[in-house]
Amino acid sequence: MIVAESTHPHVVVVGAGILGLAVAREVLQSRPGAEVTVVEKEDRVAAHQTGHNSGVVHAGLYYEPGSLKARLCRRGVGLLTSFAREHQVHLNETGKLLIARNDEERSRLRGIRERAQANGVPDVEMLDSGGIRRVEPHATGLEALHSPHTAVIDYVGVCRALAAEITAAGAELLLGTAVAAIHEPQSPSGPKVRVQLQDDRELEADLVITCAGLQSDRLAMNSGSSRWPRIVPFSGDYLTLRDNRTHLVRGLIYPVPDPRYPFLGVHLTRMHDGSVLLGPNAFLAGSREGYGRFGLNPRDLASVAGSPGFWRFARQNVPAALKELSTATSRRRFVAGAADFVPEITPDDVTSGPRGIRAQAMAQDGTLVDDFAFSGSAHVLHVRNAPSPGATSALAIAEEVVHRAFGQE
* Cα three-residue angle 375-378-380, rounded to 5 degrees: 50
Q: Do residues 196 and 182 touch, judged by C-beta distance below 8 A?
A: yes
Contacts 24+ apart (CB under 8 A), 288-297: 288/214, 288/215, 288/231, 288/233, 288/357, 288/359, 289/48, 289/214, 289/357, 290/235, 290/357, 291/52, 291/354, 291/355, 291/357, 292/355, 293/237, 293/355
- Residue-range domains of the chain with CATH: 10-50+156-229+370-405 (3.50.50.60), 93-151+232-361 (3.30.9.10)
Q: Quick one: pLDDT at residue 6?
A: 59
Q: Quick one: pLDDT at residue 190?
A: 65
Length of the chain: 409
Answer whether the bond into residue 308 is a cis peptide, omega within 30°.
no
> Which whole-number Å values give the CA distances from 194 to 23, 197, 223, in the listed order?
20, 9, 10
- CA torsion, points 113, 264, 275, 345, in degrees to nearest 10? -100
pTM here is 0.94
Q: Say how far apart CA 341 and CA 407 lie, in whole Å.
A: 48
> Which whole-number Å values give the CA distances from 312 to 189, 228, 302, 304, 363, in the listed order?
42, 16, 16, 12, 11
Residue 297 bridge partners (DSSP)? none
**Quick one: which H or E segment has residue 402?**
helix 394-405
Q: Say how far apart CA 56 and CA 390 lie, in whole Å.
A: 11
Per-residue pLDDT of the chain (409 residues; tens, 9 = 90+): 444 455 689 999 999 999 999 999 999 999 999 999 999 999 999 999 999 999 999 999 999 999 999 999 999 999 999 999 999 999 999 999 999 999 999 999 999 999 999 999 999 999 999 999 999 999 999 999 999 999 999 999 999 999 999 999 999 999 999 999 999 887 655 679 999 999 889 999 999 999 999 999 999 999 889 889 999 999 999 999 999 999 999 999 999 998 877 778 899 999 999 999 999 988 899 999 999 876 789 999 999 998 888 999 989 888 887 777 777 778 999 999 999 999 999 999 999 999 999 999 999 999 999 888 999 888 999 999 998 899 999 999 999 999 999 975 4
Dmax of the chain from CA atoms? Answer: 67
**Quick one: which H or E segment has residue 230?**
strand 230-241
Q: Say how far apart CA 296 and CA 301 lie, in whole Å.
A: 8
Beta-carbon count within 10 A of 26 CB = 25
